[in-house]
Amino acid sequence: MTPDRIARRIALASIFISASLAAAKISIGLKADSAAVISDGLESAGDVLASGLVLFGLSMAAKPPDAEHPYGHGRVETLTGLIVGMMLISAGALICYGSTERAFDLKHAPASFAIWPVLASIIVKGNLWWAKLRLSRKIRSEALRADAWNDGVDTLSGCTALLGVGITLLNPDRFIWADHAGGALVGLIVIFLGAHVVRDTTLQLMDTMPEARAMQQIKSAALSVPGALGIEKCFARKTGLKYHVDLHLEVDPGMTVYESHQIASRVRDRIREELDWVADVLVHVEPHMLATISDRPHGKP
């Protein structure tokens, strides 16, 4: 099974898991009168929509290129990651507002059974976070990585909610505010992560170059082809799960157009063979300057 199919299955499973956890935390949080647990449940409810968007993005990114989209449909996957980040910011702001508003209407401490759905969520979401993060790095999926950090925030918010409820139960008369403070802190954590996701996906949409190590791998693969004498320029941009490369390759200026075309084709094939994260390579042939100078008559500029 291909990694993108595995990613889609994980996103689908995450929808059902998040929906179950959200229903449990919200219903039990209401019965136990715990602002922190309700806030955590609302965050899990947002995960349902986020995972649905990720599933849609991964499905669209898997579609092959067509006449209107020669670079494929990968940008849909990046856009869904951006939407997930914006959703996180909005959800975090609403959670902060709700918890702060209720803090001025303190009546009694939450019931102790409020902690059980939060404990279950911490365990389940922690495992989902780790699985999605590993797979997102493997297939270079921004949407799945955003969803992974969404689960990571859910794990952290669960710990925060558990801490808030626990402090309140420890001494209800003195720390009754801790439950609401925990809910507000959950919201701040969600806002912070959402901003981080928005920043990363925006950089991808702006065609930000990959890290220097990745660019060096592209150049090394190109120069390993016999006849490839140098690289004048090399650019790469991400479209979905993979990168498209623009390469200006230097060859012997004395060779024929056909010979230089053959070298360019081998360079393209070599890069795609060695680097599975490269979708395609556009090679533009340039004369190698040192070879040009060495072929000139002595003493002439």
Return the CATH superfamily for domain 212-294.
Answer: Cation efflux protein, cytoplasmic domain (3.30.70.1350)
pLDDT band for 215, please (50, 70, 90 cuts): very high
pLDDT band for 2, please (50, 70, 90 cuts): low
Q: 19, 192, 11: which is closest to 121 by C-alpha?
A: 19
Encode 19-39: b = buried (16+ Cβ within 10 Å), e = exposed.
ebbbebbbebbeebbbbbbbb
Q: Is the pLDDT of residue 74 over 50?
A: yes
Tens of pLDDT along 174-190? 666 666 677 677 778 77
Residues 6+ apart with CB under 8 A from 79: 57, 201, 205
Q: What is the pTM of this model?
A: 0.63
Number of Cα atoms under 13 Å in the Cβ half of residue 285: 20
- Looking at residue 179, what is its pLDDT? 62
Q: Is the pLDDT of residue 298 over 70?
A: no
Alpha helices (runs of H) in 63-141, residue ranges in sequence order: 75-102, 115-139
Q: Is the pLDDT of residue 64 over 50?
A: yes
- Looking at residue 106, what is its pLDDT? 52
Extents of the domains making up the chain: 3-205, 212-294
Q: Report CA-CA distances (Å) from 167 to 103, 109, 171.
A: 15, 10, 7
End-to-end Cα distance, the chain: 60
CA distance 68 to 73: 10
44, amino acid identity = S
- Looking at residue 236, what is its pLDDT? 93
Tens of pLDDT along 105-142? 555 566 777 778 888 888 888 888 888 888 887 777 76
| Domain 3-205 CATH assignment equals 1.20.1510.10 | yes
CA distance 2 to 182: 41
Q: Would the CATH topology of 3-205 be identical to that of 212-294?
A: no
- Looking at residue 4, what is its pLDDT? 63
Helix, coil or strand: residue 187: helix
Average pLDDT over the chain reads: 80
